[in-house]
Amino acid sequence: MLRTTSMGRGIMAVLAAGERHARGLPGGSVAEIAADLGKDRSQVSRSLRTAEQEGFLRRTPQRTFALDWGVLTDAHLLTRRRLHSDGAAALEHLSGQTDEACFLGVISGNSTVTVGESIPASSRMVGSWLGRPYPAYCSDAGQALLWETPDDEVRKIFAGVTFQQHGPNTPANVEEFLARLEKARQRGYSIVDEEAEPGLYSLAVPVRDFRGDVVAALQVVGLKSRIEPRQAEHATALRNEGQWLEAMLGGRSPHNHS
């Protein structure tokens, strides 16, 4: 049988400390974490001390081991940088495959904001959307960015928001938005069909970071007459590119990206 490596034991110890934090506990003693793991106390003690020396754990005044949040802060900063650098590569590759305008968006309150774009000349899209907010209830990225947000939380986000009509199919209220979001989840990608403006059609997928949280949305946007006939083809390219970007952010294994 294969023996667990020292690195593997160290990771297990860190994860065990994180699990205690998730349960609302301030940390764990060597004995508590060893009991959680069902492992020998001396072995766990060595793993915890090593994790502390490497900066993954810190010793509390109560002599317990807890997560060192500096590591998480550094990981967040790295994720933001990679979202922009690797996001740019994903956008360029996706727009080359689809020959359509492709965007990367993030959530800001009840709006979405474009943080990356790749617009081929053939897409017939004029101007840049970088830095421009748009109402999340009808934007190309809105459904994907709220992909895993509980319905009650979505209702709170849009509380007091007037659902103004921007296109012929703009949702009339939050319940209509939630119904479309549920269909998108079942489909695996969102379709925003003339919700943002007449004639505009888009597909989008959520992009998750190393924690599994949705941090961005990858989108293919253009004229309905161009995108709808190639919807299945574009959706495949979009999902593959979204998975590659997630892998670059520390998530699932990457697909080939040539």
The DSSP 8-state label assigned to residue 28 in this structure reads B
CB 143 within 8 A of CB 181: yes
Of the candidates 70, 75, 118, the residue with the CA atom closest to the CA atom of residue 215: 75
Position of tokens 């990457």?
Answer: 254
Q: Which long-range contacts (CB under 8 A, 24 or more apart) does 209-215 make?
A: 209/79, 209/83, 209/246, 209/249, 209/250, 209/251, 210/75, 210/79, 210/249, 210/250, 210/251, 212/251, 213/148, 214/144, 214/145, 214/146, 214/147, 214/148, 215/79, 215/83, 215/106, 215/249
The beta strand positions in the chain, using DSSP E, are: 57-59, 65-67, 101-108, 111-118, 133-135, 190-193, 200-208, 214-223
Of the candidates 138, 146, 142, 140, the residue with the CA atom closest to the CA atom of residue 117: 140
Count the neighbouring beta carbons within 10 Å of the beta carbon of residue 92: 14
Confidence of residue 103 (pLDDT cuts 50, 70, 90): very high
Please give the pLDDT value at position 83: 82
Average the pLDDT over each of 77-86, 154-163, 203-212 and give the range with the smallest value. Answer: 77-86
Count the neighbouring beta carbons within 10 Å of the beta carbon of residue 171: 21
Please give the pLDDT value at position 3: 40
Position of tokens 């009840």?
Answer: 110
> In one letter, which amino acid is 3?
R
Please give the pLDDT value at position 33: 85
Pairing verdict, β 111-118 and 101-108: antiparallel
Count the neighbouring beta carbons within 10 Å of the beta carbon of residue 50: 17
Please give the pLDDT value at position 4: 47
For the question of whether the overall pTM of this predicted structure is more than 0.75, the answer is no
C-alpha–C-alpha distance, residues 120 and 99, integer Å = 6
pLDDT in tens, 41-74: 888 888 888 877 777 788 888 888 877 766 555 4
Please give the pLDDT value at position 8: 56
Judged against a pLDDT cut of 60, whether residue 95 lies above it is answered with: yes
Of the candidates 216, 15, 17, 6, the residue with the CA atom closest to the CA atom of residue 114: 216
Structure-block tokens of residue 171: 């949702």
Distances (CA, A) of 36 to 30, 31, 55, 148, 189: 10, 9, 22, 29, 38
